[in-house]
Chain A
Amino acid sequence: DTGVSQNPRHKITKRGQNVTFRCDPISEHNRLYWYRQTLGQGPEFLTYFQNEAQLEKSRLLSDRFSAERPKGSFSTLEIQRTEQGDSAMYLCASSPAGFQSNEQFFGPGTRLTVL
């Protein structure tokens, strides 16, 4: 069982640069979620996929953010023209199909620092 993996674990970038994060979910899970977490806060929902379809996006997800899951397996989250306010932990989670009661399995996160 390989769990949810995220790469890179840490990313330091300069303001205005683009960054891309990758998430590999548990293989049999068809739902994949992206969250943002800042210090002292719980995870804030950004977007989620069922298979390759992006079903919902939060209003937190500005037009600088884009997420893809092209083959229904791994996903990428890209932030264009990064701002200092984008500094946060970006968490990915996956969940099996079926029930709303299914819990989510989280990856270790990617910590982004924008200088």
Chain B
Amino acid sequence: AQSVTQLGSHVSVSEGALVLLRCNYSSSVPPYLFWYVQYPNQGLQLLLKYTSAATLVKGINGFEAEFKKSETSFHLTKPSAHMSDAAEYFCASGGSYIPTFGRGTSLIVHP
């Protein structure tokens, strides 16, 4: 069975600082991996996805993630945080038609 672990339930950064949200997956085969963002009282919106075409994936809003098989990781980064990035971020693993979601990381951005 696949599982996804997001390290840190909360990450706090200053506006303009680097954002790093961590995700590790557990899978016996290379999975499909996704990052979603959720703003308060809204559904999830796809930021980016990995489908084995390229290990560095660029997404919307300046986010990107790098698939590292040796570390079983798919960490999400953004060079410079903006106040509007404050939200809940979820990593998810595919490989079947039913993805497995992590518990989420709340990104807090300080002015």
Contacts and interface: CB of A to CB of B under 8 A. Distances in A.
B98 A91 contact: no
13 contacts: A4-B43, A41-B104, A43-B101, A44-B101, A91-B43, A93-B44, A100-B97, A101-B51, A104-B99, A108-B42, A109-B41, A109-B42, A109-B43
Contacts of A104: 44, 46, 99
Interface residues of B, number: 25
A42 B94 contact: no
Contacts of B102: 42
**Of listed A41, A45, A103, A108, residue having the most chain B CB within 10 A:** A103
Contacts of A40: 9, 103-104
Contact of B43 (A44, A45, A108): A108
Question: Nearest 4 A-B pairs (CB), nearest first?
Answer: A106-B43, A42-B101, A101-B51, A106-B44
Nearest to A43: B101
B8 interface: no
Nearest to B102: A42
Interface of B: 9, 32, 34, 36, 41-46, 49, 51, 90, 92, 94-104
A93 B90 CA distance: 15
A31 B45 CA distance: 17
Contacts of B103: 40-42
B81 to A, nearest CB: 22
A25 interface: no
B94 A101 contact: yes
Given A42-B103, A43-B101, A45-B98, A103 B42 contact: no
Contact of B34 (A55, A103, A111): A103
